[in-house]
Chain A
Amino acid sequence: MFYIFCPYCDERREEEEFHPSGQAHLVRPTDPESVSDEAWGDYLFFRDNPRGIHHEMWVHRLGCRKFFNITRDTTTYEILETYPMGEQPTITAETARVRREQGVQTADGGWQTVGAQPENSTLNEETSS
């Protein structure tokens, strides 16, 4: 069960209010008539499908009904960040790998490397208070 932060409503809401809408940051060819079949097929059908960090679009379908982006790990399902349309992710496969190796400070003051939360997550603060 996801507990998702909508960057427009500025609060966490339950997964059922949202709907996943596939890979984020896809750019439609500006002139579809002039692209090759290869490029058009790639645009329509071929997605990243990574085992690990994925940038994906979600819609807050039963809330503000706006689309936004999520960076999520497809193996742990951990949501690393959410950000509005038009913005770029701050966490990528590259930076997440570094973070995972270095680990992060946990709420109880310990040091966690496996399944590490990003520093900007407020989840730890909420559970400790």
Chain B
Amino acid sequence: MQRYSGFSLVKHALSHHENWQRHWRNPTPKKRYDVIIVGGGGHGLATAWYLAKEFGITNVAVIEKGWLGGGNTARNTTIVRSNYLWDEAGRLYNHSLDLWKGLSQDLNYNVMFSQRGVLNLAHTLQDMRDVQRRVNANRLNGIDSEVVTPEQIKEIEPALDTSKRARYPIMGASWQQSAGVARHDAVAWGFARGADSLGVDLLQNTEVTGFKIRDGQIYGVHTNRGDIEAQTVGCVAAGNSGVLANMAGLKLPLESHPLQALVSEPLKPILNTVTMSNHVHGYASQSDKGDLVIGAGIDGYLGYGQRGSFPTVEHTLQAIVEMFPMFSRVRMNRQWGGIVDTCPDACPILSKTKVKGLYFNCGWGTGGFKATPGSGHVFAASLAKGEMHPIAAPFSIDRFHTGALIDEHGAAGVAH
């Protein structure tokens, strides 16, 4: 693999940047692999990379029905944070945040991780209590988090309407300084390039259409390019996880909903941080290109259409204008949707299944981008050892029958 550096940039400038190596190969599928990952989004690619790099398992295929990172990975609003309420979730997302910090170096690929901080606003007394409770829980878990006053909020984000005149005046917020944003495509491409260089086969335009199961043990998958065998298969297919589970005769407690986002025309730098409000129901940040990156809640009905309905767009923009009145005349450039796999307790599923060797990593719903490195790391460890990694273990699918749910609706409602 060609390494990227300041020096390589200068060297390639001499040949007008026409001789850069391709990021990854386009291999023909082999008959058999040690591990198959279904789904070439950020989580699937990260899993493959950690399998190869940390656990020495390089005979791996990532099977993707479209192109790499074209699912929710390419559609999300890139917020990275770890201020979740419960110990289990805090550990998982904080493990991920730790990996984000060194990711560009580890991958030799600039994922543009920018720790510009995240505000979660409170507009009611109950909001304030929730914020305080969550901040306290975060601090007990070693997650940096603090309660800030409207005056402090004004310092952090002057564009916000912190006045008493607002329809829903801001009473305070939680503030995680170490949170921020990253470049979504670069994350997928960085993991893909790294995995490929260690020998992982990235099979694009290859759709898994069924599983090969014998005596309760998986031994391969059917695809539109023929059968491919492996004794270990990890499904990381976000909104399509339920469809895959059905193929294996399993059912998951997931519902697939459209989640929309939109970006504005590019503006001069105006937002310093990421601001979200559960109560007013919207959030915004500004990309390095200058566009406002805006989102809110899911469309309430089931949908696999990767688009949503206009009322949701309208509500989202109402919330943004309520929080930032000065944006009322900014024009929106693009709008799109992804299919998010929402779970009843707003936490993911990282789990074995009744089929031996078949694992699922899904249910990340509206908020899995931030977890990409952590999820890939603990899932790879689980696939490599055949036992769920201790950080992943509480997220077993069994919890929907034992009752040990991890309710993160407060930390993950409209906040992604």
With A47-B255, A51-B304 known as contacts, the answer to whether A41 contacts B401 (CB < 8 A) is yes
Instruction: Tally A residues with Cβ within 8 Å of B.
Output: 25
A16, A19, A77 — most chain B CB neighbours (10 Å): A77
A1, A37, A44, A51 — most chain B CB neighbours (10 Å): A51
Would B253 and A74 count as touching, CB distance under 8 A? no
Would A45 and B311 count as touching, CB distance under 8 A? no
Q: Is the contact region of chain A dominated by helix, strand, or loop, or is it mixed?
A: mixed
Would A45 and B302 count as touching, CB distance under 8 A? no
B190 partner residues in chain A, CB cutoff 8 A: none
Would B305 and A77 count as touching, CB distance under 8 A? yes
A47 partner residues in chain B, CB cutoff 8 A: 253-255
With A41-B400, A41-B401, A45-B253 known as contacts, the answer to whether A74 contacts B311 (CB < 8 A) is no
Would B302 and A1 count as touching, CB distance under 8 A? no
Report the number of A-B residue pairs with Cβ-Cβ less than 8 Å. Answer: 57
* Interface 0/1 of A1-40, CB less than 8 Å to B: 1100000000000011001101000000000000001101
Which B residues between 224 and 268 are near A, CB-CB below 8 angstroms? 240, 242-243, 251-256
Would B401 and A49 count as touching, CB distance under 8 A? no
In whole angstroms, what is the CA distance A47 to B342 when docked?
11
In whole angstroms, what is the CA distance A22 to B254 when docked?
12
Is A122 among interface residues, defined by CB-CB distance under 8 A?
no
Would A45 and B344 count as touching, CB distance under 8 A? yes
Is A81 among interface residues, defined by CB-CB distance under 8 A?
no
Instruction: Tally B residues with Cβ within 8 Å of A.
Output: 23
Is A95 among interface residues, defined by CB-CB distance under 8 A?
no
In whole angstroms, what is the CA distance A2 to B252 when docked?
28
| A39 → B minimal CB distance (Å) | 9
Would A54 and B302 count as touching, CB distance under 8 A? yes
Is A76 among interface residues, defined by CB-CB distance under 8 A?
yes
A22, A38, A45, A74 — most chain B CB neighbours (10 Å): A45
Would A15 and B309 count as touching, CB distance under 8 A? yes
Is B310 among interface residues, defined by CB-CB distance under 8 A?
yes
Would A37 and B403 count as touching, CB distance under 8 A? yes
Is A128 among interface residues, defined by CB-CB distance under 8 A?
no
* Interface 0/1 of A55-82, CB less than 8 Å to B: 0100000000000000010111100000
Listed in ascending order, the chain A residues whose CB lies under 8 Å from chain B are: 1-2, 15-16, 19-20, 22, 37-38, 40-42, 44-47, 49, 51, 54, 56, 72, 74-77
Listed in ascending order, the chain B residues whose CB lies under 8 Å from chain A are: 240, 242-243, 251-256, 300-305, 309-311, 344, 400-403
Sampled A-B contacts (16; CB under 8 Å)? A1-B309, A15-B309, A16-B311, A19-B300, A41-B400, A41-B401, A45-B344, A46-B251, A46-B252, A49-B254, A49-B255, A51-B240, A51-B304, A74-B302, A74-B304, A76-B305
The 6 nearest A-B residue pairs measured at CB: A41-B401, A20-B301, A45-B253, A49-B242, A20-B300, A45-B400
